[in-house]
Structures are given as structure tokens and as C-alpha cells.
Amino acid sequence: MRLRGQREIHLHEDAPPLPELGHLYIEEVGTSALDSFKQTLPKHLGPKSINQHLILVRAVLRFMWKRSKLKSVPYVPMESVPQKHVGWYTRQERDQLLEGIYRLEPQWYLFYYLTVRLGLRTGEVYGVAHSRILREGMQLVVDQVVQRGTKTRASRLSTRKTDEAYVLDITPDILAAVDWHISQGYGGEEFLFSKSSAFPRYIDSHVRPLKLVQEKLGLRLLSHHKVGRHSVASQAVTSGESVKAVQAQLGHKSEQSTHKYAHLGSGAQKRLIETLKPKAAPHEAARRSQVNVGSTSEAEASSSDLHVNLRSTALVANTNAAEPQK
């Protein structure tokens, strides 16, 4: 078995397999050979395309290793693929957005306050009812959503797609925002965002107010999903919260679903390293002692020079005083 050219793998049934990469036997294939192999690929190929070739080579190496033809699988140097930037708001941008909505679109203030504080989906925010807010326990029960309608069917209230409710702890500021929303007459008897218990067919009434405020304030035009779930997850992870905590907040059944939201922001990895730093590393103590010794020596030298200068000045003064005046 060997690679023909750069892509194809051929299995020869009538001849013994010749595992090769180019002119090398498979036992001779190492990281340096794979680096050279990458250089032979067409220049127009991007990182993803190059990685596809390397994945094929790695599959061959693993195949031979599992059949005891190789002692170990060499390291395959994959290309670094730039991750697609996923938009999300920082805390400063979030606060700016909330201030703008409160001032320009007050009837939608609570809608987006719940969005950016709890990371609720669009249908989950529309489905928040008075009965789901447990004031004594300071909790919000998320067990129903408003499903988007179609041309032939109106929107409707239903259970979550997993048929499982989850409970979120809420804070006094969230209850205060709810009370303000109700006092302004924006809420209905049953639901916070529907006075007649009916919902927009495409549950998109929130889109236009958000865009107007973003344009007015000069903010990036992010969707409700990115302003809410993406931003909540990103802000939490970059602040040091665990993926498990973010998973519970977003109501995901599996941790794998959370990882696509919990992309790390700038500096998160550095803060992690700084958090794990020892309180007193031996080499740093030794370096500080050397600095202190050096500083002490310099201070002593400066002090000695000062004493010499003072003595010289005193001698000159005495000499001048002893000379007779002419």
C-alpha cells in the first residue's frame, strides 16, 4: 500500500504491499518527511485542503500501526486553520446596547435584558409567563417556547424541543426589570410580551427595534442569537467560568453543544495561566534576592562615593581656611 502521487491510495492484491510516501518506505516517514510532503502540494491549496491530504496520510499510518507494521504513529504537522470569527458583544457593548434600548425602545427593554442576562433563545423569551417566575425562590422556569409560524400556520406555544424544562436562578435586578416592565403597562395578563396571549406569526417583532438601536449607537449589527446566547457564553468563559456552568445556564443536554458557543475571547488563556501561577516560585525568589543584593551593593557604592566626596570637600575647605590672606 502506498500513496500514488499526492492523493490516491492503492491496494495491490497480487503483490506484497509497498507502504511508501513518495520514495520513502513507511518506516522512514516522520515529521520532517511530512513537512516536505506539504511543500510538494499545489500552492493554491488552503489550510483546510492541505489538512485533508494530511488526514489521508495519517489514516494510512494508523492503519499500519494497528497491524504492527509501525512501532508508533509519527506526529502529523497539521496546518493551522483560522477559526471563523463568531460575533458577540463584550460587557461594555452589552451595557451600551441596554442603555440604548431603554432610552429608544423601552417596550423591548425587558425582552433584551432577559436575553443578555440569561442567554435565552428567541422563542423562550417570547414564552416567558408570569406563572413561570418564582419570586420566592428567585427562579425562572423555562419549559415552553413560542414556535415560529408559516404562511399557512400561525405561531404557537409548545414545550421545548427536548421536552425537558430547566430552571435558572435569577437575581434581584432581573425581578426589578420585570416589575418595571409591568408597571409601564407593556406586559399582558398571562405573558410578559403578549397582551392578548397571541404572538407574531414569525416571532420577529424584536428584530427591527434591535437593528434601529444598533445603528443609532454605531454598534455591530448582531442578531438576537449572537447578542444573547453567544455573548453570554463568551463573556462567562472569558471571565473564568467553567463550560459545565455555561452548559447549565444555556440549558444544553450535552457539553458538546456548549463548546460551539464557548469560544474563548482575547486573553482568556493568559488569564488561565496567571491563575495557576505558584504563589512563590523558587526561581523568582532567587531572582529577587539577586536584585536586592545588587541594589544593596549599588547603594553602598553610592554611599561610599558620597562619603569620599564629603571628605574631599572638607579637606579643601580646611586647606582654604589655613592659607593666610594676602
Phi and psi dihedrals of 2, rounded to 5? Answer: -155, 165
Which of 51, 132, 89 is CA-nearest to residue 226? 89
The answer to whether residues 110 and 38 belong to one domain is no
Please name the residues in contact with 322: beta carbons below 8 A apart, sequence gap of 6 or more.
none
The answer to whether residues 44 and 117 belong to one domain is no
In a domain, 217, yes or no: yes
Among 66, 100, 118, the domain-final residue is: 66
In a domain, 60, yes or no: yes
The answer to whether residues 121 and 17 belong to one domain is no
Q: Nearest 10 degrees: CA dihedral of 173, 175, 181, 183?
A: -110
The answer to whether residues 60 and 172 belong to one domain is no
Q: pLDDT 10s per residue in the chain (326 long)? A: 444 444 444 434 443 443 446 678 888 888 888 888 888 888 898 888 999 989 988 998 999 999 998 889 999 999 887 766 668 899 999 999 999 999 999 999 999 999 999 999 999 999 999 999 999 999 999 999 999 999 999 999 998 876 788 899 999 999 999 999 999 999 999 999 999 888 989 999 999 999 999 999 999 999 999 999 888 888 888 777 777 888 888 888 777 777 765 555 445 556 656 666 677 667 666 777 776 666 666 656 566 655 555 555 555 555 555 555 54
The answer to whether residues 113 and 203 belong to one domain is yes
Instruction: Tell me how many domains the chain contains.
Output: 2
In a domain, 109, yes or no: yes
Confirm if 236 and 245 have CB atoms less than 8 A apart: yes
Rounded Cα gap, residues 269 and 271, in angstroms: 5
Q: Write down the pTM of the prediction.
A: 0.60
Confirm if 193 and 108 have CB atoms less than 8 A apart: no
For residue 128, the tally of other CB atoms under 10 A from its CB is 26
Produce one character per residue of 5-36: b if its CB has 16 or more CB atoms within 10 Å, e if not. Answer: eeeeeeeeeeeeeebbbeebebeebeeeebee
Query: Rounded to the nearest 10 degrees, what angle do helices 231-238 and 91-104 cross at?
Result: 140
Q: What does the block give as the cell for 78?
A: 497539521
Q: What is the extent of the structural domain holding 23? A: 2-66
The answer to whether residues 41 and 107 belong to one domain is no
The answer to whether residues 147 and 207 belong to one domain is yes
In a domain, 43, yes or no: yes
In a domain, 319, yes or no: no
In a domain, 310, yes or no: no
Rounded Cα gap, residues 102 and 112, in angstroms: 10
pLDDT tens digits for range 42-93:
889 888 899 998 998 899 899 999 999 888 999 999 988 776 666 889 999 9
Q: Which H or E run contains 160? A: none
The answer to whether residues 13 and 126 belong to one domain is no
In a domain, 82, yes or no: no
Rounded Cα gap, residues 116 and 229, in angstroms: 7
For residue 55, the tally of other CB atoms under 10 A from its CB is 11
The answer to whether residues 98 and 37 belong to one domain is no
Rounded Cα gap, residues 116 and 110, in angstroms: 10
Residue recorded with cell 468563559 = 237
Among 221, 242, 258, the domain-final residue is: 221
pLDDT at 249: 87
The answer to whether residues 107 and 190 belong to one domain is yes
Q: Give the rounded percent of residues in the chain with a pLDDT score beyond 90.
A: 43
